[in-house]
Chain A
Amino acid sequence: MVKKIALSVALFTTLCAQAQYTRTAGSFELGMRNTVSLFGNNNTAGFGTGGQFRIMLGKQLNTEWFADYIQTDLYAKGKRTDAHIGWSVMFYLLNEPKKLDPYIIAGHCFDYTRVNVYRTLTEPGQEYKSRWSSAAQAGIGCHYYIGQRFNLSLSTQYMLHLGNDIHAELESENGTEVLHVEQTDTNNKLTFEGHMLTTLSLNFRIGQLWGER
């Protein structure tokens, strides 16, 4: 019981601590990020690097403009490469920022996807398949402020893509497992495809584009 109380108090104290950070409209932040992609079509995890900048429009309203480069291994038989470029709007739940500052995030994204089957060292492999798609994403996130100019952010979003379907499947041929990649090739066969993106980012307040400094 004592342990639970101690843990709760510690957690509560951290959550309630006032941040030195102040949210002001016109604030410009620059940051780097790592993203983990989960729960896609192939149930394999992808890993990516990217960057973003943020322009704050109001005390409880921020925008994030991002680009990501994500690679996903497909059963050690091939790989999927995703390039994302997009934007999101962040709605802060608290009027004044605490040290932990939660927010809701949603936005749009354009995506280039390419799926390769690995060649073997003695056999040429299958050619790659690629597509362009657009996507919408939404989720939740939280800043952790350190000082007035720096924050760590962790967010999780579900991203839903609309585009031609690229389907990679592991099949058994003559006792060996082979990865097959197929793509719908007509413009009329658009399909939805989703995955969950968890992003950890480091962000620096560079300056103030307008408003009070």
Chain B
Amino acid sequence: MGRKIIYTTLLIVSTQLAGAQQEPTTILVPESFNYKGILSATATLSTGYNTAFKSMNYFLHGYLGYQLDNRIAVRGDIYYFLNSSTKNDPVEPFAFQHNMFTGAEYHFLKSKLDWFAGIQPGLVFGQRQYLQIQSLDGASPLEPPKKTVAACFSFNMGINYYASKFFYLFLETRYNTGWFSDNYSVASLSEVRGSFGLGFYLRVWKPKDVHSIDG
């Protein structure tokens, strides 16, 4: 019974998607809720939980996004590492790990509420911390962990609420994954992050037909 429902749902969704591509739907909305040409930016604080080290990371999080049409936006994010904390280990796993992501988001337009989900490839620039970096004879300290760049992949989802003409509220979560290898070891970058706060948006390009929302 459950499977029948899944198959039927899949069929309906698929057909709807196909139809949507052939005949763009037109919804009448106030001008201010047409997202085409909107540039959005924010700076906020973000917390993350590294699932491998069971450590909490704290970041300054900022992004810049541009709405290509009512569904698709391009967006670049920067996470500036502030600090981290662990309960079990005497030292935190990273001295620092700054992140940069660029990617795309799909927006599910719903009046002032704007649900979105996206995927973003990215890079990590960081440095590990170890409890001991000392030669066996104790005479000469070995070289410190190198500052390293590593690749990562993340997907995010969240909601924006366009509260006024220039400001919006947002709440989002992100899962980031990858491996960080320096000159000593490899470490997992699996981390769940959360951000919320106030954003600023500005229409930098006005579409010809502000009342048309077509896929």
List the interface of chain A (C-beta within 8 A of B).
2-3, 6-7, 9-11, 13-14, 16-20, 32-34, 47-51, 69-71, 73, 76, 79, 99, 116, 118-125, 146-150, 200, 202, 204
Can you name 17 extra interface pairs (CB under 8 A) apart from A49-B152, A118-B181? Answer: A3-B3, A7-B10, A14-B14, A17-B21, A47-B153, A49-B123, A71-B151, A118-B183, A121-B132, A123-B135, A146-B106, A147-B71, A147-B215, A200-B119, A202-B103, A204-B72, A204-B74
Contact (A32, B184) CB under 8 Å given A7-B10, A146-B72, A202-B119: no
Contacts of A9 in B (CB 8 A): 11
Contacts of B24 in A (CB 8 A): 20
B121 touches A34 (CB 8 A): yes
Min C-beta distance of A10 to chain B, whole Å: 4
Contacts of B26 in A (CB 8 A): none
A47 touches B151 (CB 8 A): yes
Min C-beta distance of B147 to chain A, whole Å: 14
Q: Which of A10, A118, A146 contacts B184 (CB 8 A)?
A: A118
Contact (A20, B136) CB under 8 Å given A47-B151, A49-B152: no
7 interchain pairs, CB-CB under 8 A:
A3-B4, A14-B14, A118-B185, A119-B184, A123-B142, A125-B183, A150-B72
Flag whether B38 is at the interface (Cβ < 8 A).
no
Contacts of B15 in A (CB 8 A): 10, 13
A34 touches B215 (CB 8 A): no
Min C-beta distance of B205 to chain A, whole Å: 13
Q: How far is the CA of A122 from the CA of B123 in the complex (A)?
A: 29
B104 touches A121 (CB 8 A): no
Mask of B121-150 contacts with A, CB within 8 angstroms, 1/0: 111000000111111100000110000011
A73 touches B68 (CB 8 A): no
Flag whether B172 is at the interface (Cβ < 8 A).
no
Q: In chain A, what residue has the closest Cβ to B12?
A: A10
Q: In chain B, what residue has the closest Cβ to A7?
A: B7
Flag whether B8 is at the interface (Cβ < 8 A).
yes
Contacts of B18 in A (CB 8 A): 13-14, 16-18, 99
Q: In chain B, what residue has the closest Cβ to A81?
A: B181
Q: How far is the CA of A146 from the CA of B3 in the complex (A)?
A: 28
A17 touches B22 (CB 8 A): yes
Contact (A121, B153) CB under 8 Å given A10-B11, A202-B104: no
B120 touches A32 (CB 8 A): yes
Sort A-B residue pairs by CB-CB distance and give the 9 closest, nearest first. Answer: A17-B18, A49-B151, A79-B181, A6-B7, A10-B14, A10-B11, A150-B72, A202-B104, A34-B121
**Cβ < 8 Å to A, chain B residues 50-72:** 68-69, 71-72
Contacts of B153 in A (CB 8 A): 34, 47, 49
A3 touches B183 (CB 8 A): no
Q: How far is the CA of A118 from the CA of B185 in the complex (A)?
A: 6
Mask of B159-195 contacts with A, CB within 8 angstroms, 1/0: 0000000000000000000110101111000000000
Contacts of A49 in B (CB 8 A): 121-123, 151-153
Contact (A150, B68) CB under 8 Å given A16-B18, A70-B151: yes
B68 touches A149 (CB 8 A): yes
Contacts of A34 in B (CB 8 A): 121, 151, 153
Contacts of B150 in A (CB 8 A): 71
